[in-house]
Structure 1
Amino acid sequence: MEQVFQAFLLLLLYQSLLVSAQSFYRDFSSLQSLTESWQNKPPSWVGSDPCGRGWEGIECTNSRVTSILLASMNLVGKLSSDIQLLSELDTLDLSYNKGLTGTIPQEIGNLRKLKTLLLVGCSFSGSIPASIGSLQQLDFLALNYNQFSGNIPPTVGNLTNIIWLDLSDNQLEGPIPISKAGVLGLEKLLTAKHFHLGNNRLSGGIPAQLFSSNMSLIHVLLNNNQLNGSIPNTIGRVNSLQAVRFDGNQFSGSVPSTISNLRNLGDLYLSNNKLNGSLPDLTGMNLLAYVDLSNNTFDSSVIPSWASNLSLMTTLMLENTNLQGQIPVSLFNQPSLESVVLKGNQLNGTLDIGNANSNRLQLIDLENNTITDFTQKNMNYKVSVVLVRNRICLEAEASTKRYCQEPTSSSLYSTQPNNCSPLPCSSGQISSPNCQCSYPYTGTLFSRVISFSDLGNASYYKELEQSLVTAFQSQNLPVDSVSLSNPFRNPSTDYLQLSLKVFPSSSDRFNRTGVSNIAFVISSQLLNFPNFFLPYFFIGDVYGFDAAYGSKKSSHTGLIVGVVVAVVILLVLVLLAVIYAVRQRKRVKRSAELNPFVNWELNKNSGKAPQLKGARWFSLEDLKKYTNNFSEDNTVGSGGYGKVYRAVLPTGEQVAIKRAAKESMQGSGEFKTEIELLSRVHHKNLVSLAGFCFDKGEQMLVYEYIPNGTLMDSLSGKSEIKMDWMRRLKVAQGAARGLTYLHELADPPIIHRDIKSSNILLDERLNAKVADFGLSKLLVDTERGHVTTQVKGTMGYLDPEYYMTQQLTEKSDVYSFGVLMLELVTARRPIEKGKYIVREVQNVMDTSKELFNLHSIIDPFINKVTPPHGLEKFVALAMRCVREYAAQRPSMAEVVKEIENIMELAGLNPTSESDPTTEEIDVEARGGKLRHPYDHQEGFSYSGPFPSTKVEPQ
């Protein structure tokens, strides 16, 4: 009997092991199938035991795969439907792998034990599958920063255990799902603390039933969507709310009075909507730190009393809210206040800032009001007071006053060493705050709700650094220290961005497990961040895991042999290098006069010689001969850059030679940029480069000769060319076509960066040609869609978003072109007598009236020949081009298409090569002498402030 019992036990054990083996093998097969299409899998994934052989990123329980953590692994591929076979999986984190594309398979709904799903910062697209509502155990869902489109599936309402719902920064559209016809909606998510749905394309209104007193929400972020209607008064029932972002939508009506019930609210963003009625009464909301009600159409009122009685408030933003009357001095004496922005109102009288100098106040921005006096209790006040475009700044010598100058801001911060001296590190390594050379894990931290405005206050970042280190070490992660740098407020999202570096301990490099665990801890919100930085998210960079480590098993003998061999090889190489150097010096000397690029290569700061396509090199002696030793008789123009000479080459070709003055020569990098760009672009609406001279300290460009000067000459009356409406349309079309070529047909795309009327030249038939590529940039990183670069351009044409972010895009050229279009209509300079053309058009423009009520500023000559048919559409298009945010501007291809439609409306054939009504103009026959098109009257660089250019959609 005992033997039978033992046999029975052995049979049960065998069956148990068999079942376990089958389950284990199924998980292995699932992982193999799941990752068949993946590139860059961890090299430790070898063998057939993901649970027993140390597969990095894989965690198991009882020989079953329960967790996959593979953030920042540079994975490339798709998420296979075989993910469903991992039936015990409770955590999946594939974040920060931009190479992961395609859709999320419907089969993901079969992972019934999944609790955490993190797919942040990948490239997933398509619709979010409805099956995601089957994940009943899910409490953390983060799909932000992808390319998801379509509607939010109503089945998300089935996730009744969810705490964190983040679908922001995608392309989701349609309404906010609410329960109906037996389908649950978001109002059923009573355990949720976070609704993050910002930066999508959601439309419709906010249903009143979305909010109830049974909810646990602390953050509701619906910013930068297309939502409309009124804000429901039911929002006042969610007493747990700490942050509300409804900014950047199309909400209208009054702010509900119930909002004052939100006594735990710290941050209220309602800006950039169409709200009206009275300013909301925020009395008693004593935890408010950040209030932004700007750019709405509230009824005229004085500054409300609650604005002076919120002791924790750091930032008050009431720009363009119809405020009037005197500013109470009590407003500036609150202990936590850092910024007060009251631009664009009708505030008047005397400004008295009281004792503001003794607290944390950094900025009082009252630009564009009617302040007449400023009482300065302390002549050395540290507060930045901005009274530009107030009456007080119209007085004589007002421009010398600090408060009458455009403000400059700086938010520079970088973690400093901890009482040690940074070490010189090898290539790729960085010295940590504890002065150890290592390879940090890097990425960007984003704060979605900024509770402060003094971005230069180091105390905020130091507290954040300490929180990060403490949190990492409490999670037993191999982190020595962290550093933060480059705080930056992105104007398009209104997020605060910070560069983060996490440095390893006990080694100079993280392994894959270390990186994936750090990324997971950050993204799953396990860090105890300070409240002023919440809610946050993180986008990690790809980490370089492949270090060249020496073999620890190498024998001493092998080491000695290796050193001896290396020394012998080194001596041979040195000898060869000496022989080569001697021969090369002789070769350079012999070929200096034969090779046009030797002079370029010998200049240590010039870099490699330019790569030319069609342009030729001219020697200084050649150009002296062609210009009669740069005779004054051949001078056709001059400016800040230098002089321009007309010349005829031996081939009979007429050229214009632009010779840089010594004091204005570009760096060789910019000079090389202009040469390379002009030599590789060929379009009838772009000025052609015939060649260049870089010889004996000279910088000269040789262009095709353009006889009729610049567009600025014609509009200002400096030339004898009078441009009617038809000719202006043709000029706009030509310049737009040239820019479109640069943006869409050049490879890689080119951003001009200095579009203005003095850089648009007119040939013998008044066809427009875009000139001057000295500031141009190649858009080589098409994934990001921008180039981060120092702000350069010409004041009045400069894109305000580029100015604020230093992120240059094609839309920066579109903004400048919009200003150029307004210049064509008005014949006014962009900034003339202190007035900015964009703002002037905005102030008088009335779309309900003839010619948009622009009679007072339209160039009178436009009407002298033919009626300006299509002018209203032309101005409307220009105002779209100068919208404040780049995403709202059209592309240059769209601009060309719309201009051509306007031309047809005006009776012109947009496909015609030349305007038959335009006579060829011979400047010399008229006896006129134009300022030459290659002149530079304005300087390049501009780093001053920029006027607001917000334009409502047409």
Structure 2
Amino acid sequence: MNTVHNRILCLIHVLRRRLDRNQLTGAVPSNLNNLTKLAELQLSNNQLSGPLPNLTGMDALAYVDLSNNSFDVSDVPPWFSTLPSLTTLMLEFLKVSGQIPASLFGFPQMQKARLRSNLINGTLDLGSQYSKQLTLVDVQDNRVQELYYGGYSNELQLEGNPYCDQQGSVSKYCDVAQQSNPAATYSTPMQNCGASVCTSDQEMSPNCICSYPYEGTIVFRFLTFSNTENYTYYQTLERYLSGSFQDNQVPVGSLSLQNPKINLYNYFEVDMWIFPSSKVHFDEPEVVLLANLFSNTTFKAPPGFGPYYFIAKPYPSFAAESGSKSKNAGLIAGITVGGLLLASVLAGLIIFAIRRRRRKVKKATEQSLPSGSWYPSQGGSGVPQLKGSRLFSFEELTKCTNNFSEENVLGTGSYGKVYRGALDDGQLIAVKRAQQGSLQGEHEFKTEIEMLSRVHHRNLVGLVGFCFDHNEQILVYEYIPNGSLRDSLSGKSGVHLDWKKRLRIALDAARGLTYLHELANPRIIHRDVKSNNILLDHHLNAKVSDFGLCKPLNDDMKGYITTQVKGTMGYLDPEYYMTQHLTEKSDVYSFGVLLLELVTARKPIERGRFIVREVRNAINKSPDLHDLRELLDPAVCINSTLPGLDRFVELAMKCVEDSSADRPWMSEVAKEIENIMVLAGMNPYIASESNSASFGGERRSHPYQSDVSFDYSGGPYSPKVEPK
């Protein structure tokens, strides 16, 4: 339990972000209030139990949300009166009992208190010194009997309390429907457009110009303010947006914000219409520029607005001039007829090619599949299109792993267990067997195998085959003998890595990832780049492994909006975490952390210290890297100057830039490592021929073993901690 508590504390301390909606269980650590500099605490919509957390002493807390958990019945806690920075308190659907102190509403920055569905009783006393910023007090469905509001005139919700059941009570505070929300009615002011009317497919801009706007919804995952009725925030957002359009040379004439609201997940969203300048519609390159502005988070939101993502609507077809249509009608008709004839010929050729290919695949499948079927229930249909991988029977894998003997277990993870095995020809293999809770659907498993079977590169761990017999899902990989990079950096493997070997490993891993990003078909984002997933072969060549979290991209995709943020803490791209927008640059961030790990031999998060922050602070103190020496691995830099170290660290820090737009592409990273190797007197185009036997002691661990790092596998909003 202490380990789980420590990890929760580590998550809160390092991320300083949302941990809501993550199926967290158990009690909140009793020493949570040691995090005295924490500004936001969001633990709502979990399955937390035990006593209500003690937040006494957390004077920096501005936003607290503990709603929808299973905490014990609790009296109103003393810290209700001791959090001077508090702006928002959300404790809904809990079991908080007693009378709320008036001092809660008197904090200078207090804006919203949502305490719906508790056991609050007695008199609701807002006092006479309530905050001037207070805009909402919601205590619906409690046991409040009396009310004193001292002249307070903003939103107060009391419906469902005995106070509202009293005979003759006609208070407006007892009818939520009578209280309006000004924020829900905000829209960018329009000029006086008189009798101007647009056609049905166009919209009128605030400047009274009819055109086709670029539409979408910008969703902010967090706000540091809670007074969403204050129009000043929307005007500031409009000003920042306009400035960003101007700075990035996007021809925008005006924009309109509409329908701001807090959605089901407590995200703040605003509809946005962006109108073109001096014309009816945006050109296609301009639409792409607009889309990239938000998808790459080039737009920097104003203070108070947290991380965001943008949901765009399809832009209307680009209008064609009617004169051009009439003049070219004959030409269009001719092209159409010719196109139809050409299409018919091509269709015939494609059908012929497909049928011929199917016959070949069927024949090859019948010759290579020992069981004669892919899905036992479908009699030979649905065979995956494999390239270089084979189908194993369950009996074969049972034999080669000695009946999945515990003696052959190499490690255990969230997917299942990995076993060492040997084929009849002597080839060693790693057999990854899914446990029942990790099984995918048949279609998903087939799709994953087809993708993995197409990935072939000397710096990627190869898929040997798979098994789908007996309702099993088993992947068979080549066996990599020298363990993981993490093993070598920690000294567990007995393999010593000098500076040149580390440069070679960095280049190998970069080349493997470059292949995934740019040459694989489809392109692949790894999503879990870390030292435990970089394996070393006999010659200490590095191979990228574990594609369990990888995400394929179609050619027309610039990124991927995920519904689950996945990865490993310490390596996780903060922009991906905040926006859920996954791109190749997310792997680049993780790789940058890996580069820092190579020169320091430290884990990304060690004893509460984040290696990226530690290196950045050291560089800021001493640009000549003098202060960085204390962080470097003494096993590689004792009394010596490492050639190319400054450029190596500079490259790592470019990879871990907060904004993905400021990070290099993986191919650029690989090229720079090649240049650094030349500075170190190495030839980057000659593979390593070092044999681990000359560097090693007896191996004491294996790449598939459990490690103390933990996966980050969050829901749509925040992380879930799973020990590996």
Q: TM-score, normalised by structure 1?
A: 0.40
- The 3-state SS of whatever aligns with 1:691 is strand
Contact (CA 8 Å) 2:564, 2:714: kept in 1 or not?
Answer: no
| Match of residue 820 from structure 1 | 594
Extract unaligned runs of 5+ from structure 1: 1-325, 334-349, 364-374, 386-457, 497-522, 546-590, 947-954
* CA–CA separation in structure 1 for the residues paired with 2:545 and 2:517: 15
Partner letter of residue 652 of structure 1? G
* CA–CA separation in structure 2 for the residues paired with 1:495 and 1:740: 38
Among candidates 179, 182, 185, match of residue 463 of structure 1: 185
Change (3 A) 1:380 1:848: closer
* CA–CA separation in structure 1 for the residues paired with 2:58 and 2:216: 37
Alpha-carbon offset, residue 684 of structure 1: 0.4
Among candidates 662, 677, 691, match of residue 903 of structure 1: 677
| Match of residue 689 from structure 1 | 463
Alpha-carbon offset, residue 685 of structure 1: 0.2
* CA–CA separation in structure 1 for the residues paired with 2:563 and 2:668: 26
| Match of residue 728 from structure 1 | 502
* CA–CA separation in structure 2 for the residues paired with 1:729 and 1:680: 28
* CA–CA separation in structure 2 for the residues paired with 1:919 and 1:608: 43
Among candidates 397, 401, 417, match of residue 627 of structure 1: 401
| Match of residue 641 from structure 1 | 415
Alpha-carbon offset, residue 632 of structure 1: 2.8
Paired residues, number: 440
Change (3 A) 1:825 1:666: farther
Contact (CA 8 Å) 1:764, 1:920: kept in 2 or not?
Answer: yes
Contact (CA 8 Å) 1:642, 1:935: kept in 2 or not?
Answer: no
Deviation string for 1:200-246 (max 9, x for gaps)?
Answer: xxxxxxxxxxxxxxxxxxxxxxxxxxxxxxxxxxxxxxxxxxxxxxx
Among candidates 703, 714, 720, match of residue 932 of structure 1: 703
Change (3 A) 1:328 1:696: closer
- The 3-state SS of whatever aligns with 2:699 is coil
* CA–CA separation in structure 1 for the residues paired with 2:397 and 2:572: 35
Extract unaligned runs of 5+ from structure 2: 1-56, 64-79, 92-100, 114-179, 204-214, 223-235, 239-251, 262-269, 276-311, 319-367, 720-724
| Match of residue 524 from structure 2 | 750
Contact (CA 8 Å) 2:484, 2:536: kept in 1 or not?
Answer: yes
Contact (CA 8 Å) 1:734, 1:769: kept in 2 or not?
Answer: yes
Among candidates 566, 570, 595, match of residue 792 of structure 1: 566
Change (3 A) 1:720 1:531: closer
Alpha-carbon offset, residue 610 of structure 1: 3.9
* Structure 2 residue 260 is matched with structure 1 residue 488: no
| Match of residue 42 from structure 1 | none
* CA–CA separation in structure 2 for the residues paired with 1:593 and 1:472: 78
Among candidates 762, 765, 780, match of residue 554 of structure 2: 780
Change (3 A) 1:599 1:530: closer
| Match of residue 881 from structure 1 | 655
Alpha-carbon offset, residue 697 of structure 1: 2.6
Deviation string for 1:373-392 (max 9, x for gaps)?
Answer: xx99549999799xxxxxxx
Contact (CA 8 Å) 2:409, 2:417: kept in 1 or not?
Answer: yes
Deviation string for 1:796-852 (max 9, x for gaps)?
Answer: 111111112111111111000000111111111111122111111111224855544
Alpha-carbon offset, residue 772 of structure 1: 0.8
Q: Which residues in structure 2 correspond to 1:131-170 (within 5 Å)?
A: none
* Structure 2 residue 314 is matched with structure 1 residue 541: yes
* CA–CA separation in structure 2 for the residues paired with 1:757 and 1:351: 47
* Structure 2 residue 713 is matched with structure 1 residue 941: yes
Contact (CA 8 Å) 2:260, 2:271: kept in 1 or not?
Answer: yes
Contact (CA 8 Å) 1:596, 1:617: kept in 2 or not?
Answer: no
| Match of residue 162 from structure 2 | none
Partner letter of residue 514 of structure 2? T
Contact (CA 8 Å) 2:567, 2:712: kept in 1 or not?
Answer: yes
Contact (CA 8 Å) 1:644, 1:932: kept in 2 or not?
Answer: no
- The 3-state SS of whatever aligns with 2:646 is helix
* Structure 2 residue 539 is matched with structure 1 residue 765: yes
Q: Which has the larger radius of gyration?
A: 1
Change (3 A) 1:853 1:526: closer
Change (3 A) 1:911 1:840: same
* Structure 2 residue 691 is matched with structure 1 residue 919: yes
* CA–CA separation in structure 1 for the residues paired with 2:503 and 2:112: 44
Q: Which residues in structure 2 correspond to 1:838-849 (within 5 Å)?
A: 838-846=612-620, 848=622
Alpha-carbon offset, residue 461 of structure 1: 6.9
Contact (CA 8 Å) 2:216, 2:271: kept in 1 or not?
Answer: no
Among candidates 682, 689, 698, match of residue 472 of structure 2: 698
* CA–CA separation in structure 2 for the residues paired with 1:627 and 1:677: 26
Change (3 A) 1:753 1:835: same
Partner letter of residue 463 of structure 1? T
- The 3-state SS of whatever aligns with 1:863 is coil
Contact (CA 8 Å) 1:685, 1:738: kept in 2 or not?
Answer: yes
* CA–CA separation in structure 1 for the residues paired with 2:444 and 2:193: 46
Contact (CA 8 Å) 2:566, 2:712: kept in 1 or not?
Answer: yes
- The 3-state SS of whatever aligns with 2:419 is strand
Contact (CA 8 Å) 2:433, 2:475: kept in 1 or not?
Answer: yes
* CA–CA separation in structure 1 for the residues paired with 2:449 and 2:458: 18
| Match of residue 372 from structure 2 | 595
Alpha-carbon offset, residue 652 of structure 1: 2.8
Change (3 A) 1:724 1:630: same
Contact (CA 8 Å) 1:354, 1:377: kept in 2 or not?
Answer: no
Contact (CA 8 Å) 2:255, 2:273: kept in 1 or not?
Answer: no
Alpha-carbon offset, residue 713 of structure 1: 1.1
Partner letter of residue 596 of structure 1? S
* CA–CA separation in structure 2 for the residues paired with 1:478 and 1:854: 63
Alpha-carbon offset, residue 783 of structure 1: 5.5
Change (3 A) 1:689 1:527: closer
| Match of residue 362 from structure 2 | none
Contact (CA 8 Å) 2:566, 2:714: kept in 1 or not?
Answer: yes
* CA–CA separation in structure 1 for the residues paired with 2:186 and 2:385: 47
Partner letter of residue 372 of structure 2? N
Partner letter of residue 375 of structure 2? V
Alpha-carbon offset, residue 640 of structure 1: 3.8
Contact (CA 8 Å) 2:487, 2:703: kept in 1 or not?
Answer: no
* CA–CA separation in structure 2 for the residues paired with 1:809 and 1:610: 27
- The 3-state SS of whatever aligns with 1:812 is helix
- The 3-state SS of whatever aligns with 1:838 is helix
Alpha-carbon offset, residue 671 of structure 1: 4.2
Change (3 A) 1:615 1:848: same
Deviation string for 1:538-582 (max 9, x for gaps)?
Answer: 67525699xxxxxxxxxxxxxxxxxxxxxxxxxxxxxxxxxxxxx
Higher relative contact order by CA 8 Å / sep ≥ 6: 1 or 2? Answer: 2
| Match of residue 610 from structure 2 | 836
Among candidates 639, 660, 667, match of residue 893 of structure 1: 667
Change (3 A) 1:473 1:884: farther
Change (3 A) 1:866 1:597: farther
Deviation string for 1:569-605 (max 9, x for gaps)?
Answer: xxxxxxxxxxxxxxxxxxxxxx9984331238699xx
Among candidates 809, 815, 835, match of residue 583 of structure 2: 809
Deviation string for 1:69-88 (max 9, x for gaps)?
Answer: xxxxxxxxxxxxxxxxxxxx
* CA–CA separation in structure 2 for the residues paired with 1:678 and 1:702: 11
* CA–CA separation in structure 2 for the residues paired with 1:809 and 1:767: 27
Partner letter of residue 702 of structure 2? R
Partner letter of residue 913 of structure 1? A
* CA–CA separation in structure 1 for the residues paired with 2:704 and 2:274: 50
Alpha-carbon offset, residue 490 of structure 1: 9.8
Partner letter of residue 185 of structure 2? E
Alpha-carbon offset, residue 478 of structure 1: 5.3
* CA–CA separation in structure 1 for the residues paired with 2:442 and 2:105: 46
Partner letter of residue 928 of structure 1? R
Q: TM-score, normalised by structure 2?
A: 0.52
